[in-house]
């Protein structure tokens, strides 16, 4: 088992709404309502919300008064609803929050079984429950004891192994005409906006685009742009905007541009340590398969939980790549990872032949075709894929290509003596 404790927040309604919408969509179920005045079957949305807000009003000085916890289990754990409910109740008691009102939701939107716990931090005395080092001091000991008592698969202490316990979100696409637009967009945003780390609207749209959603600041001369507004739109299978736009301010947790700008600043710092993983996987791929195609690279990254969102111009040329790491929940533009990871640099690596084939001399170095990119399993691009080509002009570009496809090692033997051999003059004594 692996426990994820979210940062304390001031919006208990946002957390509650997220889980309740999952229940309505059929991808979650309320397992237990702890310390409520009614049984879970008789609780309305407002009954649940008012139980939390009534306690929070006892301490108006504390703004961050709610918390969201996720308990993730391994696929080998055989868990039914009753057992998961017992584990959730036991966990809350062990971390000292058994007397708080809390809701246990089982989610079925990922391969891995997991529980979402919604609760608040203000006690009946009006005192706030401290959360500093809660993970280390309370959650980790509780997790280890529960793993032993219930015979659960144990989460390793190393972060790289813990990732196997963390469910990767199945980002469901919004299909225009088959689902209610606002609800579909809201569900996608609830899964992405506060979960992933990104530093720009372009990077956010890289994730949203996987689900046919687009955050649109509109044109420079539009009223929306002048008022610093933001619209969310559905995209069709070709990436075109379709249907009625939804104002950011009308969505229940208000993912406005002002809200996102704070996320950009946070994400720019939090995502930095995770870029190394992507670079390592790319370097390892080309080390094992020198000159492998871009399509092969993207498939390899997809197996590691990394989506490659490509930007292609009207001529079908690749000019940008954004990597979405669903394991670390981070988004990185290729060029921001370093000079060697931009679209141009990766295209050159992909077309660079291996050592075994590099000894052959190539006559035509003016242009060459890359293998067409195919659609990734996650559906990054739909419809026909353009051929990607790298073309060079005569001159400096041609020299670069010659260096790339020419012999890797040009071994030369010992330098020969080019001096003319001096004739031996006849002896004057002869």
- Residue 413 included in any domain: no
> 258, 263, 165: which is closest to 207 by C-alpha?
263
Tell me: do 264 and 278 sit in the same domain: no
Cα first-last separation, the chain: 104
Tell me: do 200 and 301 sit in the same domain: no
Q: Is the pLDDT of residue 336 over 90?
A: yes
Tell me: do 135 and 113 sit in the same domain: yes
Structure token digits, residue 247:
């104002």
Helix axes 275-288, 294-303, angle to 10 degrees: 130
Tell me: do 26 and 135 sit in the same domain: yes
Range in 72-86, 250-264, 409-423 with the lowest mean pLDDT: 409-423
Give the residue numbers spanning the domain of 253. Answer: 181-268
- Residue 107 included in any domain: yes
Residue ending a domain, choose from 253, 268, 283:
268
- Residue 429 included in any domain: no
List own/partner pairs for 198-201 with CB under 8 A and 24 or more apart: 198/263, 198/264, 198/267, 198/271, 198/330, 198/331, 199/264, 199/265, 199/267, 199/268, 199/271, 199/331, 200/264, 200/333, 201/260, 201/264
- Residue 156 included in any domain: yes
Tell me: do 262 and 359 sit in the same domain: no
357-389: pLDDT as tens digits: 332 223 222 222 332 333 333 333 333 333 333
Residue 333 is inside which H or E element, if any?
strand 330-333
Residue 282 is inside which H or E element, if any?
helix 275-288
Structure token digits, residue 363:
């006559």
94-136: pLDDT as tens digits: 999 999 999 999 988 766 788 999 999 999 999 999 999 999 9
CATH number at residue 53: 3.30.930.30
Contact between 192 and 98 under an 8 Å Cβ cutoff? The reply is no
* Dihedral pair phi/psi, residue 193, rounded to 5°: -55, -45
- Residue 175 included in any domain: no
Tell me: do 9 and 27 sit in the same domain: yes
Tell me: do 212 and 340 sit in the same domain: no
Q: What is the mean pLDDT of residues 198-223?
A: 88
Tell me: do 289 and 236 sit in the same domain: no
- Residue 211 included in any domain: yes
CB atoms closer than 10 angstroms to residue 386:
17
- Residue 411 included in any domain: no
Residue ending a domain, choose from 165, 198, 227:
165
Tell me: do 63 and 190 sit in the same domain: no
Tell me: do 291 and 143 sit in the same domain: no
Tell me the sheet residues that pair with 70: 4, 116
19-63: pLDDT as tens digits: 998 898 788 999 999 999 999 999 999 999 999 999 999 999 999
Helices vs strands, H then E, count in the chain: 16, 13
Tell me: do 29 and 160 sit in the same domain: yes
pLDDT at 399: 32
Number of domains in the chain: 3
Within 13 Å and on the Cβ side, how many CA atoms surround 49?
13
CA 238 to chain centre: 22
- Residue 329 included in any domain: yes
* Dihedral pair phi/psi, residue 343, rounded to 5°: -60, -40
CB atoms closer than 10 angstroms to residue 295:
19
Interatomic CA distance for residues 58 and 36, integer angstroms = 17
Tell me: do 195 and 298 sit in the same domain: no
């Amino acid at each position: 088992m692996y426990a994820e404790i979210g940062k304390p927040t001031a919006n208990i309604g946002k957390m509650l709404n997220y889980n309740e919408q999952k229940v309505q969509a059929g991808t979650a179920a309320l397992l237990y309502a702890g310390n409520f005045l009614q049984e879970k079957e008789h609780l309305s949305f407002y009954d649940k919300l008012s139980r939390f807000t009534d306690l929070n009003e006892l301490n108006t000085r504390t703004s961050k008064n709610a918390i969201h916890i996720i308990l993730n289990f391994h696929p080998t754990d055989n868990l039914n609803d009753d057992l998961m409910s017992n584990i959730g109740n036991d966990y809350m008691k062990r971390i000292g929050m058994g007397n708080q009102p809390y809701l246990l939701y089982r989610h079925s939107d990922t391969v891995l079984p997991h529980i979402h716990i919604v609760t608040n931090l203000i006690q009946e005395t009006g005192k706030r429950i401290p959360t500093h080092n809660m993970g280390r001091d309370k959650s980790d000991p509780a997790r280890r004891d529960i793993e032993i008592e219930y015979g659960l698969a144990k989460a390793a202490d190393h972060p790289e192994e813990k990732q196997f316990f963390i469910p990767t979100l199945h980002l469901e696409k919004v299909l225009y005409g088959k689902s209610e637009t606002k609800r579909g967009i809201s569900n996608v945003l609830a899964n992405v906006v506060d979960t992933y780390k990104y530093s720009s609207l372009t990077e956010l749209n890289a994730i949203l685009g996987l689900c046919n959603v687009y955050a649109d600041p509109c044109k420079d001369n539009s009223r929306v742009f002048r008022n610093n507004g933001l619209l969310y739109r559905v995209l069709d299978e070709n990436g075109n905007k379709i249907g009625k736009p939804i104002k950011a301010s009308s969505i229940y947790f208000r993912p406005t541009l002002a809200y996102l700008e704070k996320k950009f600043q946070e994400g720019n710092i939090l995502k930095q340590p995770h870029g190394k993983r992507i670079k390592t996987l790319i370097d390892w791929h080309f080390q094992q398969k020198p000159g492998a195609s871009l399509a092969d690279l993207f498939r390899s990254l997809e197996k590691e939980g990394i989506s490659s969102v490509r930007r292609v111009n009207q001529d079908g040329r690749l000019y940008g790549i954004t990597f979405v790491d669903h394991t670390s929940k981070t988004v990185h533009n290729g060029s921001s990872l370093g000079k060697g990871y931009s679209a141009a640099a990766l295209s050159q690596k992909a077309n660079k032949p291996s050592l075994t084939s590099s000894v052959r001399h190539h006559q035509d170095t003016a242009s060459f075709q890359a293998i067409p990119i195919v659609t990734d399993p996650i559906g990054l691009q739909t419809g026909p894929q353009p051929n990607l080509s790298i073309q060079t002009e005569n001159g400096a570009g041609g020299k670069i290509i010659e260096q790339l496809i020419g012999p890797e090692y040009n071994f030369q033997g010992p330098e020969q003596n080019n001096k003319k051999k001096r004739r031996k003059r006849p002896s004057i004594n002869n």
